[in-house]
Amino acid sequence: MNWNEVNTGIADAQVTSLATSGSNLFAVMNSKVYLTTNNGTSWTNINTGLENSYADVILTSGTYIFTGTYGDGIWRRSLSEIITSVEQINSHIPEKFALNQNYPNPFNPSTTIQFDIPKASFVTLKVYNVLGQEVATLVNENKKIGRYEVEFDGARMASGVYFYKLQTNHFTKTMKLLLIK
């Protein structure tokens, strides 16, 4: 049996805490909170809202994730803001990559995004605000051939225009969505 390093992309990772929720793994590395949905192949920084804090420990309880910080208290965030379910919706074999318009649009508080993957690929699906800042990572993992649906929950976001971007090695497309509260 061999151990494999799985902190790809995190330079000189100092890991102080790990937590799980289903197949999702959270880690505090270099005082920031990260998430992997693909067993450590890639990590997403989910430190939004804690930019000026130094995370030390993390745990999940029920529908929340908690982090303890150095001198800045304990913080809580809903897992539904971070983790989204991605479902392969049928055995349809797509002929080409596609990113469809979300529905409903405009939406409040959640919407569905559908995309097609005709070739097994590493897929990212991210949401950005009008300033180009990433506000959510919905998919960040290898996907088999198929049609997929992701539910995006914008309950804790401000009303406004957002963009979602699907990216693979072979395809990139960005679409606009509108959150109205």
Residue 31 near residue 54, CB atoms below 8 Å: yes
Which pLDDT score is estimated for 84? 65
**Residue 30 CB-half CA count within 13 A:** 11
CATH number at 86-179: 2.60.40.1930
**Could you tell me the residue ranges of all domains in the chain?**
15-82, 86-179
Q: What is the pLDDT of residues 80-129, one digit of tens each?
A: 777 666 666 666 789 999 999 999 999 998 889 999 999 999 999 999 99
Instruction: Say whether pTM exceeds 0.75.
Output: no
